[in-house]
Structure 1
Amino acid sequence: MKKHPLISALTAAAIVLGSGFAVADQAGNVKSLRNDPIDATNRLDEVLHQQSGRVARNYRQQPPLIPHTVDQYQIDLSANQCLACHDWTKAGERGAPTLSMTHYQGRDGEQLDEVAGTRWFCNQCHVPQANAPALVENEFESSN
């Protein structure tokens, strides 16, 4: 009697899937960072408000924290709203810090008149500052 290849494949898939559920079921001790059940709706403890003023950096070459809200800022392939104030052509008149010259260097170190594509997405390195508690305990100490 000759088995059809589709039936053999379905049988093998069912065995693999069943064993995967068994392994997942044994991992019942998985916890979230907030110690809530994995399937529970995320809860927000308290609203963490933006800190006013600039916060000192914790280590050398740390990207500066953003001292204002950026909730409604458009930063995508077609626009970067941060540059309306922080581009070298506008920072002086807006009273905003100018971007570091490293943001105007291409991949090969050549100087550009516009922000390099590798530095276009500001929130890839810079985050708004907030007095938020650590999600996990740590022993981090700022450098001198």
Structure 2
Amino acid sequence: MGQIRLSLVLAACFAASFVMAQNVSELSGPQPDPMQSGPAAPIPRFVTDDVRQMRAYPEQPPIIPHSIEGYQLSVNTNRCMSCHTREMTQGSGAPMISITHYMTREGQMLADVSPRRYFCTQCHVPQADAAALIENTFTDMSEMGATGAGRE
């Protein structure tokens, strides 16, 4: 009796997931027949004006406001570090990478960038002139009327 009940529950879950999958819209819009080929969407052009944008949500990694085309990013070299490390920011005028990039998982400070934070593009992406896939309703605290501590 237990196996029959389990089989019925599994069948109901499968049917429900199938129905829900049919009603979920794709982020990129309605999908054409997968067997038909069509033109590829144009690649968005990167914004290279060096103007830093507001973040779209709390804790978002900053977006790269310049072109990184041709940057070498490998185990042996990281062109980003030529401007963004502590030692290079005064000469380059670039913002310094966060101090969290100099920490181990346990919070131990390191003299150099942590290996787990070395590959910048695993979190940071260049700005692109592309439409948002979904509406962003994020509102920054400063826009909600919040003020800093001690201000009256």
* Range into which the TM-score falls when normalised by the shorter chain: 0.5 to 0.7
Q: Say if 1:32 and 1:58 are closer, same or farther in 2 by CA, change over 3 A.
A: closer
Structure 2 counterpart of 1:120: 118
- CA-atom RMSD in angstroms: 2.4
Q: Decide which structure has the larger Cα Rg and report it.
A: 1
Alignment of 1:57 onto 2:25: no
Alignment of 1:48 onto 2:45: yes
Give the counterpart of 1:141 among 133, 137, 144. Answer: 137
Q: Say if 1:47 and 1:131 are closer, same or farther in 2 by CA, change over 3 A.
A: closer
Structure 1 gap ranges (5+): 1-30
Aligned pairs for 1:1-144 (under 5 A) are 33=28, 35-38=31-34, 40=37, 43-45=40-42, 47-50=44-47, 52=49, 53-134=51-132, 136=133, 138-144=134-140
CA-to-aligned-CA distance 1:87-113 (integer Å, 9 cap, x gap): 111011111000110000012111111
TM-score, reference length from structure 1: 0.67
Structure 2 gap ranges (5+): 1-25, 141-152
Identity of aligned residues (%): 35
Separation (CA, whole Å) in 2 of partners of 1:91 and 1:109: 23
TM-score, reference length from structure 2: 0.64
In the TM superposition, residue 66 of structure 1 has moved relative to its aligned partner by: 0.3
Q: Say if 1:73 and 1:37 are closer, same or farther in 2 by CA, change over 3 A.
A: farther
